[in-house]
Structure 1
């Protein structure tokens, strides 16, 4: 049964079971009134002449029963007409209320523009009529950038004002025939007619929309700044436009895909839909599902990169790096899954599981070897992060002085006060804190002096330039001079060959890491490396010795 057929059957059942409508009851009342009028005419034709003669004294009074019947007819006529008029007024009022309710059901209560349901229906009707015209329709999906921060920083009333202002600004820019709708939250969509041979008109409209919406929104003493990302899809990209709301949903979906692509490319811009975007989004959705499933199945594993004292060449610790050992895709690097895990809100759960496993792995190393762990900026927004990390240390009985967490410079700009509090809490328990990727962000000297860091890590981009560019060495020298002034030791990452290593050795004492010492390894290969260097934990060495002794005794017994 099709949806249309089902709706027809439902309408019939509703009509069969409903009470008579006011209009039907009005006709009954009106019929009674007309019957009373007809009876009045018949009665009056007999009674009135006799009444007139009786009043003039020519004849005696007419029959009392007929007179009473005449008066009753008059009363029925008056009552019936009054009742009919009252019901008609009630019907008009109810009809007006229903029309107003229907109109409000089709509008967004906050902005006054269409809502999702009414817009989809209207777009479907436009697509059905489009085949008889030479025009095309462009669906424009709009999403405000970082709108959650507006609510968080200024309050929801400010957010509502931004939405109303945004809708008004877009509405003023739409050409004749354009329709605007708010789909929910900070998502808008509009449709505009255009000639397929002149798509530049739509480009110009999108550009003006971005410019107008980016103007500060007045609110109290602090205007609110907001930008938006736009995705555009054309009706020419729909194979069949005769399916009403189904075709409308397909067109809106393509515009949504283009809008998400605009966000991924940096926000505050627009893109037209292209078929590869759909494949990219499908792959992205598969990655999201795979990441959630991988966390539940323990597919994310810690790998370890060596950290070496450059002067002595001695191994001093490892940095934990996440790898996804996916059954479908093989070993996936963090540059693929970490940004997605941050966006979908699972980075905290993933990181805590990896850190817990790393603690258990590192307990098998020599107690002098340290463990460095990268912390996502998203985790640093959690006010309970420090407590969660300290609980993990206690649960796994891992010494705090062997742990070094690494945070990036971007963490310092969101909430310096909270970051300072977290760093202080961790350092008070003996955990080391390093500033990672130093030189690529916007850290100021005042921040470095006020935040209690234990170490700086020079970003690999500066280290890689040592092998060929003279100014690269000057930059590293400047960073080292600053670290000396702040009394902060340094780790250089990205050492890939002997030339870079020798250049760093000449610059002073520091730790280093990079592919020159080997690629990141899983826990099993790390244990083999440490066993060869006699750097396993004492109880691990005792177990190994006992196994070796037992094996040798078995050979002698044999």
Structure 2
């Protein structure tokens, strides 16, 4: 037998002991059968256990005859009560699968519990009592097999965990009668397992045939209006659901194509809903969704002269179909009205909160030649809005079409990219704001592709995250950055950027630690920079990863602070060394009073938390002076130096030393 055949057989055997999850109809039929048979199973266990325990009361210790059987019987009674309650509940397929798996998992400890109790009881009995134990175990396992027949995996687990110890135990007693009983039980169990496989196969076939019959009946019979409405209605918001939306999209697209009319698709995504849902729970989240859905309905029904169809696509996402030759101005007006209504406060106990929404539109015939492509274009418009124009409406355009094609090209070329050959690093100095001495360099990735030339990190880093290549790219670049940093003076630090995928997986952090340790570069001279977005991606995991990096001696900086969505409470919970103030606030600090106030608040926050502050994007002396006045400790930007290749660092440091020596040299004649 080949290795492949052995693996195939192994997988098949493993599947015998698992609950199949690929057939919802079979799962539901198994669950319904269990509702009738599980009480019988536990009745057999409880009654037989009480009978055996009663026999052994004068023979065995009280803990074996009273306490243990009472605990086992109570557990069986609780499970019986739980199953009886399920008869009047409506369960989803996911709930049914979870409950069947729980049953499958509980079979092992329950079976082992009763078997262990029987074996502990056996030595205290006389000949008749010992025979009763043997009879108890044989009859009980047979009853269990029959009761569990609809869940083959559970029946097999129970058979193996009871029969194998049973047969071995009684066969080793040396008593001919017990050996005969053990062999007989083994043969009967084998026959029952055969019957079990045949019965389970026939049961599955019966369910499949019943499903096939129902499907045929559904094809030949017209659905009632009420059934059709329920099948196409979102039960939470009572808006048309995703199924209805795409049915209407296909129909309206065909009509628009045939009649030459303009049709638009819109996708709405609520900004800020996920944090509210995570913090306050799904009950509050559901009430906000209901309220938001009602607002969208009111705007759409009052918008004319175009007809607007609306639906809930899932989660906090809603869909729009705009027919009646809408213009771009009509779409933007609709988006503005929906956005204004969504931004109104939500008074939902125990909170009073506000949200916004981003909307993506795409219009036929200007864009797309199919209903599916039109929806994808609207979805990309939404993606663009959330990334660049959060809280606004964006209409798919030729520029976005070029962008989406470029995105696909970049993703394709990244998959074949040799990171060691095509990827490069440049280093930008980080300078002490007062002394103007360089304290370290930030490593920045650059990609020169043979076909595309230089590709911006703003394009290839998100692409690498989308297609799952960010971690191997991070590893390759970190190794090169550490090699370069080994040639620097001991006082200089290396700053290196990590993505959410690097810090939100345990194996990601472990691999980074291994790279640092193998490099020989001191961990105490490394600052890993993490964005606010990465922190909020999975705060608990990010917190654990940051603590791990700190434990090995690395510094941790929060990058682009002020542009993300992490709360101050999150920042206080992270063991940070630095906060990097985003360049968007620095650029107009001397012209925009709001930017000045924001940076002043951020530097004060850093002082209070005893965290260093780093200003990015400082390009003029006026900006430098303002940052010094506000108490910012470190500066990074074109005023001191642009990012440079590794080969230029030595000359840069030499020039800096010469400049500083001139500044402190004594005047002539002094």
Q: What TM-score range do you get, normalising by the shorter chain?
A: 0.5 to 0.7
Show the counterpart of 1:141.
266
**Alignment partner, residue 98 of structure 1:** 221
User: In structure 2, which of residues 482, 485, 488 is the aligned counterpart of residue 362 of structure 1?
Assistant: 485
Aligned to 2:405: 282
Q: Using the alignment, how far apart are the partners of 2:362 and 2:628 within structure 1?
A: 57
**In structure 1, which of residues 119, 131, 134 is the aligned counterpart of residue 248 of structure 2?**
119
Q: Does structure 1 retain, via aligned residues, the 8 Å contact 2:428–2:643?
A: yes
Counterpart check, 1:391 vs 2:520: no
**Per-residue CA shift, 1:284-304, capped at 9, x if unaligned?**
333343444447675332211
Given that 1:106 and 1:117 are in contact with CA atoms closer than 8 Å, whether structure 2 keeps it comes out as: no
CA deviations on 1:470-523 (whole Å, 9 max, x unpaired) are: 999999888777766655555555454677778888999955444344322223
Displacement of 1:400 = 0.9
Give the distance between the partners of 1:227 and 1:444, measured in 2 at CA.
17
Q: Per-residue displacement from partner, 1:374-423 (whole Å, max 9, x unpaired)?
A: 33456454466544432221233332112122345666667766555444
* Residues 524 and 346 of structure 1, relative CA distance in 2, 3 Å threshold: same
Residue in structure 2 matched with residue 302 of structure 1 by the alignment:
425
2:441 corresponds in structure 1 to 318
State how far apart, in whole Å, the 2-side matches of 1:426 and 1:306 are. Answer: 23
Cα distance change, pair 97–291 in 1 and its aligned pair in 2 (3 A): same
| Aligned pairs (5 A) from 1:472-483 | none
1:260-275 equivalences under 5 Å are 260-275=383-398
Q: Would you say the 8 A contact 1:137–1:191 is kept in 2?
A: no
Cα distance in 2 for partners of 1:192, 1:464 equals 41
Q: Quote the RMSD (CA, aligned, Å).
A: 5.5
- The answer (yes or no) to whether the contact 1:142–1:228 under 8 Å persists in 2 is no
Tell me what 1:194 maps to: 324
Check the 8 A contact 2:500/2:535 in 1, yes or no: no
Structure 2 regions of 5+ residues with no counterpart?
1-212, 658-670
Give the number of equivalent residue pairs: 432
Query: Residue 432 of structure 1: CA displacement?
Result: 2.0
Per-residue deviation, 1:355? 1.5
**Cα contact 2:328–2:395 (8 A) shared by 1:** no
Structure 1 residue 373 displacement after superposition? 1.5
Report matched runs for 1:502-521 at 5 Å. Answer: 512-521=635-644
CA distance in 1, matches of 2:607, 2:292: 51
Are 1:331 and 2:331 an aligned pair? no
Match of 2:166 in 1: none
Which residue does 1:425 correspond to in 2? 548
Q: 8 Å contact 1:119–1:181 — kept in the other structure?
A: no
Cα separation, 2, equivalents of 1:252 and 1:448: 38
SS in 2 for 1:355: helix
What secondary structure does 1:237 align onto?
Answer: coil
Distance 1:343 1:297 in 2: 20
- Partners in 2 of 1:517 and 1:432 — Cα distance? 23
Alpha-carbon separation, structure 1, partners of 2:401 and 2:310: 24
**d(CA) in 2 for partners of 1:472, 1:158:** 35
Residues 457-496 of structure 1: matches in 2 within 5 Å?
457=580, 487-488=610-611, 491=614, 493-494=616-617, 496=619
Change (3 A) 1:367 1:200: closer
Q: SS of 2:642's equivalent?
A: coil
Instruction: Check conservation: 1:300, 1:325, Cα contact below 8 A.
Output: yes
Q: For the Cα contact (< 8 Å) 2:419–2:476, is it kept in 1?
A: no
Q: Which has the higher contact order (CA 8 A, sep 6+)?
A: 1
Residues in 2 aligned to 1:117 and 1:253: alpha-carbon distance in whole angstroms: 12
Query: What is the alpha-carbon distance in structure 1 between the residues aligned to residue 437 and residue 295 of structure 2?
Result: 64
* Aligned-partner SS, 2:553: coil
Say if 1:117 and 1:482 are closer, same or farther in 2 by CA, change over 3 A: closer
Cα distance in 2 for residues equivalent to 1:224 and 1:472: 25
Of 494, 498, 512, the match for 1:375:
498
Q: Which runs of 5+ in 1 are unaligned?
A: 1-89, 240-245, 535-558
Contact 2:500 2:537 survives alignment (8 Å): no
Asked whether the equivalents of residues 253 and 263 of structure 2 are also in contact (C-alpha less than 8 Å), the reply is no
* Aligned counterpart for 1:230 among listed residues 356, 359, 364: 359
TM, length-normalised to structure 1 = 0.57
Inter-partner Cα distance in structure 2 for 1:460 and 1:496: 10
Cα gap change, 1:149/1:384 in structure 2, threshold over 3 Å: closer, same or farther?
farther
User: What do residues 456-480 of structure 1 show as CA deviations (whole Å, max 9, x unaligned)?
Assistant: 5555567677999999999988877
| 3-state SS of 1:139 partner | strand
The answer to whether the 8 A contact 2:603-2:632 is kept is no
Q: Following the alignment from structure 1 to structure 2, what is the Cα–Cα distance between the partners of residues 313 and 272?
A: 47
Q: What CA deviation, in whole Å up to 9, does each residue of 1:37-74 have, x standing for no partner?
A: xxxxxxxxxxxxxxxxxxxxxxxxxxxxxxxxxxxxxx
- Helix, strand or coil: the match of 2:644? coil
